[in-house]
A and B are shown apart, each in its own frame.
Chain A
Amino acid sequence: MDAAARDLWNRAHSRVNAEYREERRRVTIDPITRLEGHGKIDVFLDEHGEVERAYLQIPEMRGFETFSLGRPAEEMPQITSRICGVCPTAHHMAAAKALDALYQVEPPPAGRKIRELVYHAFMMEDHALHVYLLGGPDFIVGPDAPPGERNVLGVIRKVGIETGRRVIAMRRRLRELIAYFGGKVIHPVLGLPGGVSKGLEPEKLGEFKQLARDNLDFAMFTNQVFKDLVWKNPDYVRLITSEAYTHRTHYMGMVDEQNRVNFYDGQLRVVRPDGTEYAKFPADRYLDFIAEHVEPWSYVKFCYLKPLGWHGFTEGPESSVYAVAPLARLNASDGMSTTLAQTAYDVFFNTVGAKPVHHTLANHWARVIEMIHAAERIVELVNDPELLSPDIRTLPTATPRRGIGVVEAPRGTLIHHFETDERGLIEKANLIVATQNNAARIAMSVDRAAKNLIHKGEVSEGLMNRIEMAFRAYDPCFGCASHALPGHLPLRVRLYDPQRRLVRELVQE
């Protein structure tokens, strides 16, 4: 149709449809408001004005496990990526790996390496986002800086506008790499059972090699920034290691055959609060080790180690609570598979303390070490001649039945479990997302912060900030765990006296 005719056609249709719409429209009354769009923390005080208990509540769920039923399995990497638009690549990749297992097919080397390249680029840019924009303000600007300073602009003032530009440019280039293979960077489409949909054209390789080099420089630069501003500053190290931010729990992370950190593949390893190995198992045995507990006051389920049973929000050797995410990965491993990251890993444990490190805020540092690892893996991958092979996918032939896939998302272990009929239509889906693994420990951290900072009914000034710091270290993604606000969670804290009258309400924006 030529343009003029199409235009005429479109206009005629919009007129008809406008009339149609009007015909179907009914009056909608616009009321006043009542509720807050915030994560909620309710704090209960005892008769001495001390904190009995603080609750962090997550206000929504969407039900992906249910509405996946009946869908063709190959759609799952795209459907589940909509669990989270901040870490869509993690869901996409966990689902793609679950499809490999479901269809009993191994991707050829190029298919696997393209997935790994995309995945490490994603880990890198997501960690960079957190280090500089979300968690960074707490350290780079300083935990006691005024709230108005503790934001991106404050970071840029501290590290310089050039660094700000560098962060933005590096993230953009990494995201372009993801989009090259994945079509879209937010909700990529490359993952299929047995490999990927798109290979690498040789003429792109030079660009990606340059990106890999620049990116490694950037990771080392970030390490330097962190070193200069944080671990050379005894106050910060003291803050990181303070009891207020310490929980002695189990840790889980994925490791390779030598028990080194691996984001893409391997077995899940759990260490006890004393650092000894508790369990090591392939993803398809996750149901033997991981269980989810329900509380009536949150839509988020709380994971715990199943053989130990649920013992509440407790820590120590008798507790079944475990943590995931960067610190947990370092704790659950024996080292890193790349040299620069291994060096940083050693410095970390020499500075902060022996393994396992129980200090929640050390997650920020662990994240920087993981950035180095991701950057080194990207360099290895772009220099791998197999990456250019056009053989990117093994077509499945087996009858699908059950498949479990796992990756280490930026925020921790992520498990997708699908079962299908013989046509590959989903009959059961179960998802354990990173923040759920951490949910119990996050709840404990919030409770701890409240107990440390509220005494005799008096609230210390930095309460909101400190609570926020406690859970921001986990980089919690309640978008994943149910839905709420990725990274940054505006908070509302309400204090109730022993008569359960609301005595104070604080809002952290």
Chain B
Amino acid sequence: MTPDHWTPRIVAFFCNWCTYTAADLAGVSRLRYAPNVRIIRLMCSGRVDPQFVLDALARGADGVLIGGCHPGDCHYVEGNTKMLRRFRMLRRLLAGFGIEEERVRLEWISAAEGEKVRTVINDMTERIRALGMLGLPMRFEEWDREMGHLEGEIRERATDLDPDDDEAGEEGEPEVPAAAQRPEASHV
């Protein structure tokens, strides 16, 4: 997606017992809300590992919304409290990475609050629209262009040095745009 045709992409992690049900309710009630959210249902907001949030952003989400039960209402007693604690730290961590606070949001939405689902999603979509695209995959490609540069130069030199060597071209790896050559980004 290019910045010109961009519209916010928000990944939402909703608790099965409350916020997901509320989103369902919003649907059944035909409440219209911005179509920018991809909802992932989890059993509890306490299941939202901060790794999920970072991974969503790294894969192209512009924002992440976490929905859980109101304090005191957690189906598993205090999963939502655990999420709140992590969230407070995660916000500071993300600030340290230069990511705006508003891109990651935690909301308590009970099963009855279909209307709140709509308000929150619309509000968040607008705020992120105002912030603009996060576009991490594109940034990663941009960062790694400096490696493609060396590769391109080296390939040129190889061709220069071995003008008679027909195999040089054939043996080479398939042509891959430099920008796409991001190596794996996982732990070995």
Contacts and interface: CB of A to CB of B under 8 A. Distances in A.
B155 A26 contact: no
B94 interface: no
Contacts of B172: 29
B89 interface: no
Interface stretch (A30-38, A50-58, A496-504): A30-38
A32 B151 CA distance: 9
Contact of A29 (B151, B185, B187): B151
A24 interface: yes
A24 B184 contact: yes
Contacts of A21: 184, 186-188
B174 A27 contact: yes
Given A31-B155, A32-B158, A20 B186 contact: yes
Contacts of A30: 173
A247 B181 CA distance: 52
A258 interface: no
Q: Identify whether the interface residues of B are mostly helix, strand, loop, or mixed.
A: loop
A20 B52 CA distance: 13
Contact of B186 (A24, A27, A29, A31): A24
Interface residues of A, number: 14
A25 B154 contact: no
A17 interface: yes
B54 interface: no
A350 interface: no
- Most chain B beta-carbon contacts within 10 A, residue among A17, A20, A27, A31: A31
Contacts of B181: 26-29
Interface string A410-438: 00000000000000000000000000000
B151 A25 contact: no
A133 B187 CA distance: 37
Q: Identify whether the interface residues of A are mostly helix, strand, loop, or mixed.
A: loop
A28 B150 CA distance: 12
B158 A31 contact: yes
Contacts of A31: 150-151, 154-155, 158
B85 interface: no
B183 interface: yes
Contacts of A20: 186
Given A29-B173, A30-B173, A24 B185 contact: yes
Contacts of A27: 173-174, 176, 180-181
A29 B175 CA distance: 9
Contacts of B185: 24
Contact count band on B: 20 to 34
B157 interface: yes
Contacts of A33: 154
B182 interface: yes
Contacts of A32: 154, 157-158
A26 B184 contact: yes
Nearest to A26: B182
Contacts of B188: 21
A449 to B, nearest CB: 33
Contacts of B150: 31
Contacts of A29: 151, 155, 172-173, 176, 181
Contacts of A17: 186-187
B160 to A, nearest CB: 11
A25 B154 CA distance: 22
A82 B164 CA distance: 48
Interface string B103-141: 000000000000000000000000000000000000000
Interface in A372-397: none
Contacts of B176: 26-27, 29
A36 to B, nearest CB: 15
A24 B188 CA distance: 12
A26 B186 contact: no
Nearest to B156: A31
B151 A26 contact: no
Contacts of A34: 153-154, 157
A31 B148 CA distance: 11
A174 B183 CA distance: 43
A29 B181 CA distance: 8
Nearest to A27: B176
- Most chain A beta-carbon contacts within 10 A, residue among B154, B155, B174: B154
Interface string A10-47: 00000001001100111111111110000000000000
Given A30-B173, A31-B155, A34-B154, A25 B184 contact: yes
Given A29-B172, A31-B151, 15 more contacts: A17-B187, A21-B184, A21-B186, A21-B188, A26-B184, A27-B173, A28-B183, A29-B176, A29-B181, A30-B173, A31-B150, A31-B155, A34-B153, A34-B154, A34-B157
13 contacts: A21-B186, A24-B184, A25-B183, A25-B186, A26-B176, A26-B183, A27-B181, A28-B183, A29-B172, A30-B173, A31-B150, A31-B151, A32-B154
Interface of B: 150-151, 153-155, 157-158, 172-174, 176, 180-188
The 9 closest A-B pairs by CB, nearest first: A31-B154, A25-B184, A21-B186, A29-B173, A26-B182, A28-B183, A27-B176, A24-B184, A32-B158
